[in-house]
Amino acid sequence: MYKTFTIFCVIIYSFCLCDKECGLEHIVCKKSAKFRSIDGSCNNLNNPIWGTRYSVYDRLLPPKYGDSMHTFPTALSGKSLPNPRKLTSTIYKHVMPETVSQISLSTMQYGNIVVNDMSFVYLPPNNIDCCTKNLQLLDKKDEPKECAPIQIPSDDPGFSYINATCISMTRTITNKERACSQLLNYNEQLNQVNSYLDLSIIYGNTYKDHKTIRSFQNGTLLVDIRNNHEWLPSSGSDKSNCEGNLNSAEICYRSGDKRTNMSPQLTLLQTLWVRNHNNLARNLQKLNPYWNDARLFEEARRINIAEHQFISYYEMLPLYLGKENLVNRKILYNTDEFVNDYDENIRPHIFNEHAQGAFRQFHSLIAGKLSVYNPDGYSYDSLVLRDHLNRPVALEKFKLFDGLIRGLAMQNQMESDIYYDPEITQCAFLHQLRFRGDLKSLDIQRSRDHGIASYNDMRSYCGLKKAKKFNDFLDVMDQEKLDLLLPFYETPDDVDLIVGGSMERNVKDTLAGPTFLCILYKQFYRTRRSDRFWFENEANGLTLKQLNEIRKFSISKLFCDNGNNITRMQKHGFLPVSERNPRCSCKDINGPNLLLWKHKK
């Protein structure tokens, strides 16, 4: 059944010219273009719309909707699935971990960069309220059609003391609202960023937005200069995506992505990549003074994206998914040659099961307190996450930019398990300016909004035995985890993917169980194979010598070159300091030699 479904989708998207596909319109490609587009168009010359903004999410399995088209899924009995908030407060309650992760917090935060680069659900405007002002459920007759709020139980351990009964959530906009991809006989959600791993978080996803973040001078991106350092431009009077703007004394930033201000360390990493671009542009100008602004910008952007892709795949992903597994699946290659594995028949679109399922497991890695380290490598302060969501004031006003960089490299991330820091499930989303809810509950509700296939169907797709009874889950779950599910689900077929997958034992040398790994491998294989401008592909435009210089880059080099005054760092910045990974002078951390980009006039 599922193989038939996959083939059917390919037929729809490849050959049916009668249906308007979701994404950009009226695209004309210039086949001789040397650089990738801003919006993702024309990466695939045969299907130039693939991977562009507002494309649909793809699926590995057919959706599970209550009415087969759009409504929330139900249990096989027809009853409602368990309340997401009840699941979170019971199953995912925080306990002190028995072990400490041997991976730095930078790994979690860079995973956030990667997922934001490729996926952003397309939601209705921010001004839709799905709860009353005093956090109560609306009467159904008053509830906007876009709403899918989560009811908070009366005995809730986190929110009952403020008498809240409602967590607001709106449903993702689908192909039906935009009247595209109509041959799909069910609603499919839209991705509001392009699907490629191309640093769209700093460069933008539309040419209109892109123009507002370019300086159009010497190939650089627009920045504000304060205290001799480059900062992302101020967002000015726009208060839609940052609570700091509600206080005139606090700054908020703008970049290529609306989520720039979501957390201090996310803002920090985007700032580092903007600085890295501008440093590249300035150095290229010294080497090639006759290059104009456009050439300097595109060459710097190509190098910047290549360094980002290298860090994402060759430094970060092995810690999530296991290096040997990635090499065996041809997601990584042990080579100093080109890797010409581009396949024009592979769609770059993001799998719904990846974006609303497997990768959301890594929200368990989030730390509720962000440690600040001094130049000598000692922690002297910390930020409580709840006070700094959508509020990046700490970076400049509190002068913690470098201290938080060191914190990313030196603080251990949380374990990948079912235990979530209470800062993101109990109190992190309770702030003086806005009640936000509970991240894990919202993850569960969003997966149902998208009609994600059940855990049982997905594990079967991935090669595990289809469970007929709950005990069949014990092939990949411990009994204590299975016991957590039993009070909530009536049958194995009712279990949500995002819940069941999180209960699996992590495979050795990875941060996930076999079902989530199956999804993640398929997504990251697709992401590299479908990108004509992938950094290892000869068609990207780098020479082999230049490519091997890119392979010298690292997250530690990004920290050293682009911090305010970072002078010491461990060579492996995704791993904590240890005897095998000691702190050293930044002068001893290698990086690309840009002399190889000097062109003859």
pLDDT for 8: 30
pLDDT tens-digit readout, 341-355: 999 999 999 999 999
Considering its fold, how many domains does the chain have in total?
2
Cα distance between residue 394 and residue 479, in whole Å: 44
Q: Are residues 117 and 128 in the same domain?
A: no
Whether pLDDT at 435 is above 70: no
The answer on 524 and 399 residing in a single domain is: yes
In this prediction, residue 126 has a pLDDT band, given cuts at 50, 70 and 90, of confident
Q: What is the average pLDDT across 145-153?
A: 96
Same-domain check for residues 144 and 293:
no
pLDDT digits (tens, 9 = 90+) for 395-428: 998 889 999 999 999 999 999 999 888 888 876 4
Asked if 340 and 566 count as a contact pair (C-beta separation under 8 A), the reply is no
Above 50 in pLDDT, residue 10? Answer: no
Identify which has the larger pLDDT, 8 or 549.
Answer: 549
Q: What is the per-residue pLDDT for 97?
A: 60
- Region 510-530: mean pLDDT is 99
Tell me the HSE value of 271 on the side-chain side, using a 13 A CA sphere: 28
- Reported as a pLDDT band with limits 50, 70 and 90, residue 7 is very low
Comparing CA positions, the residue from 520, 543, 535, 523 lying closest to residue 339 is 535
Q: Which of 48, 52, 561 is nearest to 311 (CA)?
A: 561
Q: What is the mean pLDDT of residues 33-47?
A: 97
Return the number of other C-beta atoms located less than 10 Å from residue 571's C-beta: 17
Torsion angle in degrees (nearest 10) through CA of 266, 588, 281, 405: 20
Residue 99: which pLDDT band, with cuts at 50, 70 and 90?
A: low
Q: pLDDT tens across 582-601, in order?
A: 999 999 999 999 999 999 87
E runs forming strands in 474-595: 568-570, 583-585
Q: What was the pLDDT predicted at 510? A: 98
Which residues face 584 on adjacent strands? 569
* End position of a domain, from candidates 171, 199, 228: 171
Indicate whether 12 and 139 sit together in one domain. Answer: no
Q: What is the mean predicted confidence (pLDDT) over 526-530?
A: 99
Whether residue 443 is found in the same domain as residue 456: yes
pLDDT at 428: 41
Q: Are residues 184 and 133 in the same domain?
A: no
Residues 216-270: pLDDT tens digits? 999 999 999 999 999 999 987 666 678 765 666 788 999 999 999 999 999 999 9
Q: Enumerate the known binding-site residues.
A: 363
Binned at pLDDT 50, 70 and 90, residue 90 comes out as very high
Residue 14 has a pLDDT of 32
- Beta-strand ranges (E) seen in 214-275 are 224-226, 229-231
pLDDT at 265: 96
Residue 148 has a pLDDT of: 97
E-only strand ranges, 12-156:
55-56, 150-151
The whole-number pLDDT of residue 427 equals 63
| The pLDDT of residue 291 is above 90 | yes
**pLDDT level of residue 566 (50, 70, 90 thresholds):** very high
pLDDT interval class at 101 (50, 70, 90) = confident
Asked whether the predicted pLDDT for residue 96 surpasses 80, the reply is no
- DSSP for 363-383, please give it: GGG--SEEEEE-TTS-EEEEE
Q: Are 195 and 207 in contact (CB under 8 A)?
A: no
Look at residue 94 in the predicted model and tell me its pLDDT.
65
Say if residue 156's pLDDT is above 50: yes
Residues 166 and 286 in one domain: no
Average pLDDT of span 92-109: 82
Across residues 134-161, what is the average pLDDT?
A: 92
Quick one: 314 and 398 in the same domain? yes
Instruction: Identify the band that residue 9 occupies on the pLDDT scale cut at 50, 70 and 90.
Output: very low
Last residue of a domain, one of 171, 187, 208: 171
Higher pLDDT, 569 or 246: 569
What pLDDT band is residue 58 in, cutting at 50, 70 and 90?
very high
> Token pair of 163, please?
């008498």
State the pLDDT at residue 433: 44
Instruction: Kindly tell me if the per-residue pLDDT of 71 is higher than 90.
Output: yes
Domain shared by 448 and 312, yes or no: yes
Residue 149 lies in domain: 124-171
Residue 565 vs residue 157, higher pLDDT: 565
CA distances, 374 to each of 112, 199, 382, 411, 440 (Å): 25, 29, 12, 13, 33
Q: For 7, phi and psi rounded to 5 degrees?
A: -65, -40
pLDDT (tens digit per residue) in 366-389: 999 999 999 999 999 999 998 898
| Residue 412 and residue 397 in contact, taking contact as beta carbons nearer than 8 Å | no
CATH of the domain at 556: 1.10.640.10
Q: Are residues 364 and 267 in the same domain?
A: yes
Same domain, 386 and 513: yes
Q: Using one digit for the tens of pLDDT, what is the confidence trace for 539-558?
A: 999 999 999 999 999 999 99
Mean pLDDT score across all residues of the chain: 92
Do residues 28 and 164 both lie within one domain?
no
Share of the chain above pLDDT 70, in %: 93
Q: Note the pLDDT tens digit of each residue in 453-488.
A: 999 999 999 999 999 999 999 999 999 999 999 999
Binding site residues for heme b, as ranges?
Answer: 363
Of 171, 204, 231, which marks where a domain is finished? 171
In this predicted structure, what is the pLDDT of residue 18? 39
